[in-house]
Amino acid sequence: MTAQRCEFGEDVTTPYGDSYRYTSLANKRFISLTSQDQADVLFKDCTILVDDIRVSNNYTGKSLSLPGIRELKGQLATEQSGITELILDDLAFANVVRLDSYEDEVYLSTFSAPKLTIVQNIVIEQVNASILLPSLTSIGVLQLGDIRR
Tens of pLDDT along 50-101?
A: 888 888 888 888 899 999 999 999 899 887 777 889 999 999 999 999 887 6
Q: Do the strands 29-35 and 21-23 form a parallel or antiparallel pair, or are they unpaired?
A: antiparallel
Given a cut of 50, is residue 23 above it in pLDDT?
no
Name the domain count of the chain: 1
Q: Compute the distance between CA of residue 70 and CA of residue 80 in angstroms, rounded to an integer.
A: 25
Domain of 116 in residue numbering reads as 5-144
- Comparing CA positions, the residue from 111, 116, 43 lying closest to residue 77 is 111
Residue 58: other Cβ atoms inside 10 A: 11
Q: Look up the pTM and report it.
A: 0.82
Per-residue confidence (pLDDT) for residue 16, from 0 to 100: 47
149 is a domain residue: no
